[in-house]
Amino acid sequence: MAEIKHTVVLGITGSIAAYKGADLCSKLTQAGFDVNVIMTASAQELVRPRTFLTLSRNPVMTDLWSVPDWRPGHIELSERASILVIAPATANIIGKLACGIADDALSTFALSHQGALLIAPGMNPRMWANPAVQENVEKLKRRGAVFAGPASGRVACGADGDGRMAEVDVIMQQVMKILN
């Protein structure tokens, strides 16, 4: 068994690309990382938490209220996390991160996290091009967030342009670069 290198928190949001998050989770786990997944409610409409439980071999955080003991799970996890990877990242989570909004488990964890932040956007090209989204991206970059993508191409709804989530191998390369 590979030695655990770092704790990676993988945030999964409600983009149709959420299914790619399962592949990323699997590859991170195979690389020896201790992967802990936090899913938004919208993500759970697309991919089930059990998928990530099985792939990561860790409980999946889906809300702030299902804590098995007295410790706030998001704070305890933030104390040992080396990196937060949000893949896919919707316009919604990018906006929350930029504005410091904490209204679910992922955005609340993000406010307590002090390690590296890697964001892999996944959304419709019109959404990605929206000036509000671009302003939020620039704000996050100024704060040190690293972006993987988005890629250009056809998205699930049939539109073409920038907005596709970066390929899992590209995200993995960014994680390795940040942590090494």
Token readout for 65 is: 């209220």
* Buried b / exposed e along 35-56 (16+ C-beta atoms within 10 A): bbbbbbebbbebbebebbeebb
Active site residue 25: no
Amino acid at 138: E
SS3 content of the chain, % helix, strand, coil (to 5): 45, 20, 35
Residues β-bridged to residue 85: 10, 118
Token readout for 160 is: 């073409």
Q: CA angle, 6 as apex, 177 and 10 as ends, to 5°?
A: 80
Q: Are 140 and 94 in contact (CB under 8 A)?
A: yes
What is the rounded distance in angstroms from the CA atom of residue 59 to the CA atom of residue 4? 17
Q: Which of 99, 132, 157, 170 is catalytic?
A: 157
Contacts of 71 (CB under 8 A, 6+ apart): none
Please identify every residue annotated as catalytic: 157
